[in-house]
Amino acid sequence: MTPTINIINEDKFVRALSGCSDKGFRIIDGKDFEILQYDTKPLDNYTPPPCFPDYCDFHNGIKVDTHEYFDKFPECCAKHKKLLQVNWFNKGKYEYIKTKIFDTVCYTQDCINKSIKNRSWYKEITDYIDYTIRSYGQLPIGYGPSPGIQIYYNSIESIISQAKGIPNNKKQKLLEYLDQEGTPSKHPSKNTDLNILIDTYKKWLSIFPFELPFFKNLKPYFSKHLPFIENISEPNLYDHLVRAKTVSKERLVKHLLDATIELITSINCSTQYTEGKLENISKLEIELILSSRNLELQALKYKTLDDRKQYTDVLKEWFNGEKKFIKEIAPHLSNIIPNTDWNKDGNSNPAINSHSADMISKVTTLLARYPKIQELYISANLKLNEGKYFRNILDDYRLVLELSMKAVLSSEKSMENQRPAINIFFSQKGKSVQHMNIFWQVIDFYCKYNNSNVKHNDAVNPSEIRFIVDQSNNCLIELLTA
Ligand SMILES: [Zn+2]
Ligand SMILES: [Zn+2]
């Protein structure tokens, strides 16, 4: 059931819907609309009260109370009286309460009788009451409770407390529920103004370093996420509506601190390195410096940091750590990439060119997932840098490729026997048969080259090294990035 909404303050409504969405959310204040009542359905096989059709004193009493109430309405209380001053009020619109109260009380009574012995009696009954209460609609905030709702509450309260067939513990739980729901004035809503929550959240969104490459793709998720809603209920059994509450500002701030810590400890330069994703160190270093400066400036802008201080401090500390980490690791990463200028005399290294060096840098990064293989790979490249031990280099390269295959394909076979595993692996990655064939041909000839030139004799022609190294790296990249 989608309730009908009657707009009281059209200006504000139009403004809210017509894209003044600088806050990212559109809020319509409860002061600016009323929700009209709608009919509810009884449970299937509805049974009228036992006294039907000659109603007893209790049931007749409801009818009498309702008529007396409607005669006075809206001069029944100070809040409803305010309705007399507005142009959208028209008493005739509320005439439905003359029958609605009686009907909904009887329907609810029927639901209580039918459900009280069921296992899920509490949910069945309270959901029905909740569904009924909603059907009474809602006056704009400030104009009092929905007309007639108090008579409904009082009647259900007396039905439950006087019922003979309901055990005392169940009575107590239902009466507590009615007390909570039925007297909002006794339990004023602690909901924080949504605007304050949105503002708090938006500030976090602007302060958290989403501009850093490894956080970038998380931003859309967090921009749409609403961390200030909690206690989302199970759907109502009858109208399937879900209820939720907004959190307090304190809870939101605590939540933002937790989210900050969770994000920066699970994704950072160190985790990027172990996942083989730490590339282009010098660019990242610049981004970290810019981003941390941005944080400092934001902190200056909101001089009184109040609730933001906690997570801003955590972020500042994190930035210092990250910058230090990058500074420390950068020289190591560049040392292990062989030099294309072989020696100081300017003779270039015959074993690699700048394209080879790029591939080596990439493979070194990718192999961070497998530290033992990475170690072997780095040692091979240190030899390459010296321009000697070519046989050893090719041996090491072959082993790196073989071990990487075992690790990536989860197959312990020797390289010559990996064809079935390669086919399965690449087809799972959506690669074509032709692609698999090329890959396999390269591996096949690579194995043959090694068997005849590397394994069994020392006669490696230095002018062939670069080509073989490049083939190995090309295969490694294809395998590790698939
Ligand atoms: Zn009766
Ligand atoms: Zn009233």
pLDDT at position 20 is 47
Closest CA relative to residue 327, chosen from 364, 366, 281? 281
Ligand 1 center to residue 136 CA distance, Å? 23
Q: 198 pLDDT band (50/70/90 cuts)?
A: confident
Closest CA to 447 of 385, 405, 386: 405
pLDDT digits (tens, 9 = 90+) for 206-256: 888 998 888 888 888 888 777 777 767 788 999 888 877 777 888 888 888
Same domain, 225 and 295: yes
Q: Is residue 169 part of a domain?
A: yes
How far apart are alpha carbons 133 and 113 in whole angstroms?
A: 19
Mean pLDDT of 165-183: 89
The verdict on 54 and 173 lying in the same domain is yes
Is there a single domain that holds both residue 360 and residue 236? no
The rounded distance, in Å, linking the Cα atoms of 214 and 267 is 7
Long-range (24+ apart) CB contacts under 8 A made by 478-481 are 478/439, 479/404, 479/405, 479/408, 480/276, 480/363, 480/366, 480/367, 480/369, 480/404, 480/408, 481/366
Residue 465 confidence class, pLDDT cut points 50, 70, 90:
confident
Centre of ligand 2 to C-alpha 359, Å, is 79
Spell out the alpha helix ranges (H) of 267-417. Answer: 269-274, 281-301, 309-335, 354-366, 371-386, 390-409
Question: What distance in angstroms lies between residue 154's CA and the mean position of ligand 2's atoms?
Answer: 14
Ligand 2: centre distance to CA 174 (Å): 25
Predicted confidence at residue 288, as pLDDT, reads: 87
Mean pLDDT of the chain: 84
- Give the distance (Å) from ligand 1 centre to CA of residue 137: 27
Last residue within a domain, chosen from 127, 157, 182: 182
Does residue 216 belong to any structural domain of this protein? yes
Tokens of 178: 């009615």
Tell whether 188 is covered by a domain: no
- Same domain for 110 and 16, yes or no, is no
According to the model, what pLDDT value does residue 335 have? 62
Looking at the domain assignment, is residue 341 inside a domain? Answer: no
pLDDT of residue 190: 52
Residue 91 CA to ligand 1 center (angstroms) comes to: 29
- The pLDDT score that the predictor gives to residue 455 is 64
Percentage of the chain lying above the pLDDT 70 cut: 87
Q: How far is CA 182 from CA 75, 85, 152, 179, 189, in A?
A: 21, 27, 9, 5, 13
The mean pLDDT of 343-349, rounded to a whole number, is: 56
- Ligand nearest to the backbone CA of 139: 2
pLDDT at residue 192 in the model:
60
Among residues of the chain, what percentage have pLDDT more than 90?
A: 39
Residue 344 pLDDT > 60: no
* pLDDT digit string, tens, across residues 81-103: 999 999 889 999 999 999 999 99
In the prediction, which pLDDT does 409 show? Answer: 93
Q: Which ligand is nearest to the CA of 49?
A: 1
**Same domain, residue pair 273 and 382:** no
Q: Sorting pLDDT into bands at 50, 70 and 90, what band is 25?
A: low
Separation between Cα atoms, residue 273 and residue 289, nearest integer Å:
19
pLDDT at 305 over 70: no
Q: How far is the CA of 154 from the centre of ligand 1 (A)?
A: 15
The last residue of a domain, from among 289, 306, 334 = 334
Top-ranked range on mean pLDDT: pick from 32-41, 272-281, 300-309: 32-41
Q: How far is the CA of 56 from the centre of ligand 2 (A)?
A: 27
User: Taking residues 114-132, what's their average pLDDT?
Assistant: 95
User: What is the mean pLDDT of the segment spanning 168-187?
Assistant: 81
Residue 469, domain extent? 354-481
Report if residue 343 sits inside a domain: no
Asked whether residue 268 falls in the same domain as residue 398, the answer is no
Residue pair 319/295 in contact by the 8 Å Cβ criterion = yes
Judge if 89 and 116 occupy the same domain. yes
Between vectors from CA 466 to CA 465 and to CA 469, what angle results, nearest 5°?
85
Q: Quick one: which ligand is closest to 73's CA?
A: 2
Task: For residues 44 and 25, state if they share a domain.
Answer: no
| Ligand 2 center from residue 83 Cα (angstroms) | 10
How high is the pLDDT of residue 40? 95
Could you tell me if residue 344 is inside a domain? Answer: no
- The pLDDT value recorded for residue 58 is 94
Task: Please tell me the number of the ligand nearest to residue 52's CA.
Answer: 1
Mean local confidence (pLDDT), 122-142: 93
**CA 242–ligand 2 middle distance (angstroms):** 29
Q: Whose atoms come closest to the Cα of 83: which ligand? A: 2
How far is the centre of ligand 2, averaged over its atoms, from the C-alpha of 279 (Å)? 69
Question: Is the pLDDT score of 435 beyond 90?
Answer: yes
Section 261-269 average pLDDT: 86
CB 101 within 8 A of CB 153: no
Q: Do 374 and 319 sit in the same domain of this protein?
A: no
Q: Residue 141 pLDDT > 50, yes or no? A: yes
Interval between CA 473 and ligand 1 midpoint (Å):
87
Residue 207 shares a structural domain with residue 120? no
Tell me: pLDDT of 139 over 70: yes
Residue 34 backbone dihedrals phi, psi, to 5 degrees: -120, 155
Statement to judge: residues 202 and 313 lie in one domain: yes
Question: Do 48 and 30 sit in the same domain of this protein?
Answer: no
Please list the alpha-helical segments (H only) found in 53-187.
57-72, 78-81, 97-115, 121-135, 149-162, 168-182
206-210 contact pairs (CB < 8 A, 24+):
206/298, 207/295, 207/298, 207/299, 207/308, 207/311, 207/312, 207/315, 208/260, 208/263, 208/311, 208/315, 209/291, 209/292, 209/294, 209/295, 209/315, 209/319
What pLDDT is attached to residue 352? 72
Task: Report the separation in Å between the CA atom of 144 and the middle of ligand 2, taken as the mean of its atom positions.
Answer: 7
Find the 35 Cα to ligand 2 centroid distance in Å.
17
Is there a contact between 135 and 156 (Cβ–Cβ < 8 Å)?
Answer: no
Domain total of the chain: 4
Please indicate, yes or no, if residue 342 is contained in any of the structural domains. no
Distances (CA, A) of 417 to 247, 314, 411: 59, 52, 10
pLDDT above 50: residue 187 = no
Residue 346 lies in a domain: no
Task: Evaluate if residue 42 carries a pLDDT over 80.
Answer: yes
Per-residue pLDDT, averaged over 1-21, amounts to 66
Specify the pLDDT at position 426.
93
The answer, yes or no, to whether residue 461 has pLDDT greater than 60, is yes
CA of 77 to the centre of ligand 2 (A): 4
Region 428-454: mean pLDDT is 89
Instruction: Confirm if 401 and 472 have CB atoms less than 8 A apart.
Output: yes
Lowest mean pLDDT among 358-372, 389-403, 443-457: 443-457
